[in-house]
């Protein structure tokens, strides 16, 4: 990964997600520029622990914030730019937030695999009972 700042508006969502998933899998710190709900821009270095989809199809990033030393949630739409660093994670996830930070059970290499995993999680196939 390059240490140059990547502007999310200048690339596809798939590319942004791919970079953020790689940062999470490699436990690499990531500096993001994001716009909060008040419209204020901020720069934070985070340690991504989970990337999830909402019931409405939005994508959220759960990460430890190095500024606040606590678990925070960012929507992908809030992230305007990012840089993935070589430095590894250094923060310890508080025990009460450990469930939020569990690594994903499956690794999605392609965008289609990520979509399939999310659909499988949200809409599991019904279990068929075998007749005795």
Tens-digit pLDDT profile for residues 46-93: 999 999 988 788 899 999 999 999 999 999 999 999 999 999 998 888
pTM: 0.69
- Render pLDDT for 24-55 as a digit per residue (tens, 0 to 9): 999 999 999 999 889 999 999 999 999 998 87
Residue 47 CB contacts under 8 Å (≥ 6 apart), including other chains:
27, 29, 30, 63, 64, 66, 89, 90, 91
Burial class for 65, CB neighbours closer than 10 Å (0-12, 13-18, 19+): middle
């Amino acid at each position: 990964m390059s240490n140059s700042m990547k502007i999310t508006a200048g690339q596809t969502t798939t590319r942004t997600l791919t970079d953020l998933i790689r940062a999470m899998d490699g436990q690499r710190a990531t500096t993001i520029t994001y716009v909060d709900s008040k419209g204020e821009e901020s720069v934070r270095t985070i340690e991504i622990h989970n990337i999830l989809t909402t019931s409405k199809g939005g994508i959220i990033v759960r990460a430890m914030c190095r500024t606040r030393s606590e678990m925070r949630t960012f929507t992908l739409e809030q992230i305007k730019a990012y840089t993935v660093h070589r430095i590894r994670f250094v923060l310890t996830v508080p025990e009460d937030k450990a469930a939020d930070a569990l690594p994903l059970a499956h690794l999605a290499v392609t965008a289609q695999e990520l979509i399939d995993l999310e659909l499988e999680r949200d809409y599991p196939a019904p279990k068929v009972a075998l007749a005795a």
